[in-house]
Amino acid sequence: MSEVFIDGKRYEFEGEHYLLQFILDQGLEVPFFCYHPSMSIPANCRQCLVKVGTPVKDKETGEYELDENGERKIRWFPKFQTSCGTKISDGMVVLTQESSDEVARAQKDNLEFILINHPLDCPICDQAGECPLQIQTYKYGPEGSRFEVQKVHKPKRVQLGPRVTLDAERCINCTRCVRFTQEISETDQLTIVSRGDKNYPMTAPNEEFDDPYSLNTVDICPVGALTATDFRFKARVWEMDQTPSIDITNGKGCNIDLWTRDNEVLRITPRHNEDVNDYWMPDAGREAYHLFNDNRVSKPSIKLDGDNQAQTSWNNAIETFAEVLEENDPQDFVVVGTPHASVEENFALNKFFNLLGASNAMFTPHIIPGNGDGFLITDDQAPNTTGCRLIDIDEVPKDGLQSEIQNAKVVIILTDDLVGRDALSAEDFKEPFTISLATNHTDTTKNSDLVIPITCVAEHAASYVNVDGRIQRSLPAKETKYTNRRLNLEMSESRLDRFGTNFDNWVSEENKVDCLPLWDFLNRLGDRLGLDYHYNHSRDIFEEVSDRFETLNGVSYERMDEEQGVQLSLGQQEKVKQD
């Protein structure tokens, strides 16, 4: 076991470590900007300077030489070292800003340099509140500035690509974005142009920064130089809730955070999970926030004469639904589950209709071969294909589904735009009575006879099994008309949520969708039909699922939370289908 002394305290280590990462791993801190644990180390911001020395060894005996006090003699490096790129060695002595005034001064000097050409426009900068430059300036920076001459002016509001906006004046040239496109997304779309203090990141002339992962550069930008065109000026970070969730736009199940304010999801950012997505996610997944806010089915609708739908009451919707079920033979029901919904929803739906005597639910995978990139974008367009297979929802190909429906009297479709993705056509909806349990208005809901609004991933706790067989879960981020952030211990509260009242102007009822979790709606429908069916929480459903299916034995919400998802050992059947 080797040892290293940081600020006088002894730490043990084995193997090869870079000093900065080692310090951070110990829960200690050294300020830095350009370093990123998943990318190469350019050591260009020069912020993480520390003083480093190595013990002097007697050449003959190999023993440490001691000074007059009996302490090891230390040979100090003549210059400060950037801790990010310094490998630790046995006996190394490190002084950080915590124990050395010299180091603290050097770091302060560096921050002074960084700030001289940085526009101090924090009050209008989106990064404020989550800005490494702002935070580290408060902690380690100089008070005021000695810079009394003119700042450098550079391009502002540059649309680098469809999704990313550059303010070159704010840029501190850490090159994280450039390295991201070189090393992670491998599109090489960005480089630093110009020279010296005129430097800034840019694409090649007439090139667009349309990297499918471009928005990750916004996350890793340590200042407000790169901002999401979509999110700019929308919200201050401290006004928002941050809720852990799962990307539902493809099969990878990137770990994400949903950022909400007043029950609107305003942005989606990746959440670090080494086993799934590291620090990254595709841009497409971030744009999913529209799905959670816009075009939502709110209040049930029913088809009247012709093709017109009209909103109706929950009572009427439940009554109509129940009547249709009662009037028809359960053998004539077709229950369509979906890889676009969670394990719990598929299970709850299937169980409900099994109790009624209908045959097993079926689903059609939503896979576009060749769409994936081998990184975080998958062929699979749905988050839970593996989950549907695991809980024995019958997998049918597109045309199989179509022929099933042609013979059915009642079709129940769990939120899946089968028409939109060409699995079914509007024609297929002419004959049977079609009921959509849906989150958003789609071509499928438009053609349905009854539309029941259900909660989306941003509104409920539910689990999804990704293409690699990892089960992960979401937490509710948005209130519905019937939930209350303060009563739901799983929901996070921002300052505004905590201290606001309904009379404050940032609280708006309109953003709460009039919908129910699927299981809650089925509870009510079951009550009306006199069915022995009741769940209090999606957790109850999952407990039943994990008891019933061997692959999921022993898996719980708690384990998913603690272990950032649980890797399942897939059975042969799921694996074969996987390929």
Residue 133 Cβ vs another protein, minimum distance, rounded to whole Å: 11
CA atoms of 211 and 251, how far apart (whole Å): 20
Q: Which C-beta is closer to another protein: that of 31 or that of 517?
A: 31
- Residue 133 touching another protein (CB under 8 A): no
Instruction: Determine how many CB atoms are found less than 10 A away from the CB of residue 534.
Output: 12
Look at the chain and count its residues. 579
Number of residues that bind another protein (CB under 8 A): 36
Q: Which C-beta is closer to another protein: that of 173 or that of 243?
A: 173
Binding segment toward another protein, per CB under 8 A, in 129-137, 145-153, 232-240, 386-394: 145-153
Residue 47 Cβ vs another protein, minimum distance, rounded to whole Å: 7
HSE-CB of 116 using CA atoms within 13 angstroms:
14
Residue 31 Cβ vs another protein, minimum distance, rounded to whole Å: 12
HSE-CB of 516 using CA atoms within 13 angstroms:
21
Map 210-278 to HEC letters: CCCCCCHHHHHCCCCCEEECCCCCCCCHHHCEEEEEECCCCCCCCEEEEEEECCEEEEEEECCECCCCE
Residue 350 Cβ vs another protein, minimum distance, rounded to whole Å: 57
Question: Which residues have CB under 8 Å from 352's CB, separation 6+?
Answer: 522, 525, 526, 531, 533
Nearest to 132 by CA among 118, 144, 145, 146: 118
Binding segment toward another protein, per CB under 8 A, in 120-128, 193-201, 257-265, 316-324: 193-201
The two beta strands, 394-395 and 362-363, are parallel
Show the tokens assigned to 33: 């900007």
Map 93-107 to HEC letters: EEECCCCCHHHHHHH
Site residues for another protein, 88-107, by CB under 8 A, read 106
Residue 27 Rama label (left phi>0; alpha psi -120 to 50; beta): left
Residue recorded with tokens 């199989």: 400
Residue recorded with tokens 């289908």: 577
Q: Which C-beta is closer to another protein: that of 150 or that of 572?
A: 150
Residue 79 Cβ vs another protein, minimum distance, rounded to whole Å: 4
Q: Residue from 13, 113, 375, 533 that binds another protein (CB under 8 A)?
A: 113
CA atoms of 29 and 443, how far apart (whole Å): 53
Show the tokens assigned to 65: 């030489």
Binding segment toward another protein, per CB under 8 A, in 188-196, 244-252, 321-329, 379-387: 188-196
Residue 188 Cβ vs another protein, minimum distance, rounded to whole Å: 11
Q: Residue from 10, 59, 195, 430 that binds another protein (CB under 8 A)?
A: 195
Q: Is 547 helix (H, G, I), strand (E, B) or coil?
A: helix
Binding segment toward another protein, per CB under 8 A, in 111-119, 316-324, 344-352, 456-464: 111-119
Q: Residue from 15, 146, 530, 558 that binds another protein (CB under 8 A)?
A: 146
CA atoms of 118 and 373, how far apart (whole Å): 37
Q: Which C-beta is closer to another protein: that of 47 or that of 338?
A: 47
- Residue 114 touching another protein (CB under 8 A): yes
State the binding string over 164-183 for another protein (x if CB under 8 A, else -).
--------xx----------
Question: Which residues have CB under 8 Å from 473's CB, separation 6+?
Answer: 246, 461, 462, 463, 464, 557, 560, 561, 565
Q: Which C-beta is closer to another protein: that of 32 or that of 542?
A: 32
Residue 456 Cβ vs another protein, minimum distance, rounded to whole Å: 45
Q: Residue from 18, 32, 35, 80 that binds another protein (CB under 8 A)?
A: 80
Q: Which C-beta is closer to another protein: that of 112 or that of 208?
A: 112
Burial 550-562 (b: 16+ CB within 10 A, else e): ebbeebbbeebee
Q: Which C-beta is closer to another protein: that of 117 or that of 364?
A: 117
Q: Which C-beta is closer to another protein: that of 217 or that of 378?
A: 217
- Residue 123 touching another protein (CB under 8 A): no
CA atoms of 294 and 411, how far apart (whole Å): 26
Q: Residue from 17, 38, 73, 85 that binds another protein (CB under 8 A)?
A: 85
Binding segment toward another protein, per CB under 8 A, in 24-32, 142-150, 439-447, 456-464: 142-150
Site residues for another protein, 19-78, by CB under 8 A, read 41-47, 49, 78
Nearest to 413 by CA among 304, 333, 294, 306: 333
Residue 196 Cβ vs another protein, minimum distance, rounded to whole Å: 4
Nearest to 131 by CA among 161, 174, 160: 174
Residue 480 Cβ vs another protein, minimum distance, rounded to whole Å: 49
Q: Is 50 helix (H, G, I), strand (E, B) or coil?
A: strand
Site residues for another protein, 462-491, by CB under 8 A, read none
Residue 120 Cβ vs another protein, minimum distance, rounded to whole Å: 14
Question: Which residues contact another protein by CB under 8 A?
Answer: 41-47, 49, 78-80, 82, 85, 106, 109-110, 112-114, 116-117, 146-147, 149-150, 152, 172-173, 191-192, 194-199
